[in-house]
Structure 1
Amino acid sequence: KEKAPEKTAEEIRADEIQAFKKQTQSQVALLAIGGALLFLVGSYAPASFMQHFIVFVLSVFVGFQVIWNVSHSLHTPLMAVTNAISSIIILGAVLQVGSTSFLVTLLAAIAVFFAGINIFGGFLVTRRMLAMFQKS
């Protein structure tokens, strides 16, 4: 069998540019859909909800930027803080599970679920990192 000819540097670069353009288009589409959904929520939600929602969105953005840029040496201490924050989320959500409103109960259950994933995942990652430093 004959080998397929290897790609030149220009062809590899063109493929990379094409993949980047495709990724950028999908990101722009997702941002447009998200913006349209936020516009719809803002059109019909009360002002008090929008104030809380804006704080929530900003905290998600800031949290993502802070965690994404953490060096590897700070990962384990950051995991401990994240687990502490998630435990506070679970406490608050458990207090709300007994609410008479179905929506509040549903959101509290979802909060417990996701915070639990964060806590248990943090412990697993930390355990795995510490195992790297143990002698076999």
Structure 2
Amino acid sequence: MITILTIFVLAAFVGVEVVSKVSSTLHTPLMSGANAIHGIILVGAILVTAHSPNWILTVLGFIAVLLATVNLVGGFVITDRMLEMFSAKKAPKPVGNEGEAK
């Protein structure tokens, strides 16, 4: 148990260091690739749930499908927000009577 916990903690530290060193320009392509992987995980969870032999495994499969869906949608939302950071800014609309013709 100590060995597994040690590996988990070390993997968490390595993961934080690797992710924190990724520049903003590389983040969006990496998220797109991660979203593709999460889509495959979602399909796998659906297939496993569809073939579950008892109700306990069906409930666990449903939870897996739910979490994979949240993960996939959240990844797309974050990717969309990152892409908005790189898009051109729109000019603000005039406020009040400034834009009206006399």
Q: Is this a same-fold pair by TM over 0.5?
A: yes
Residue correspondences, number? 80
Correspondence for 1:91: 43
Correspondence for 1:114: 67
Correspondence for 2:89: 135
TM-score by length of 1: 0.48
Give the AA of the match of 2:58: T
Correspondence for 2:27: 75
Give the unaligned 5+ runs of structure 1: 1-37, 40-53
Give the unaligned 5+ runs of structure 2: 91-102
Stretch of structure 1 that moved more, 69-78 or 121-130: 69-78
Correspondence for 2:96: none
Q: 1:71 Cα deviation (Å)? A: 2.8
Post-superposition CA distance 1:80-120 (Å, at most 9, x none): 11111111111111111121223322222122112211211
Rounded to whole Å, the distance in 2 between the matches of 1:118 and 1:68 is 20
Q: Percent identity?
A: 44
Correspondence for 1:46: none
TM-score by length of 2: 0.61
Distance of aligned partners of 1:72 and 1:86 in 2 relative to their CA distance in 1, 3 Å threshold: same
Higher relative CO (Cα under 8 Å, sequence separation at least 6) belongs to: 2
Structure with greater helix percent: 1
Q: 1:135 Cα deviation (Å)? A: 2.3
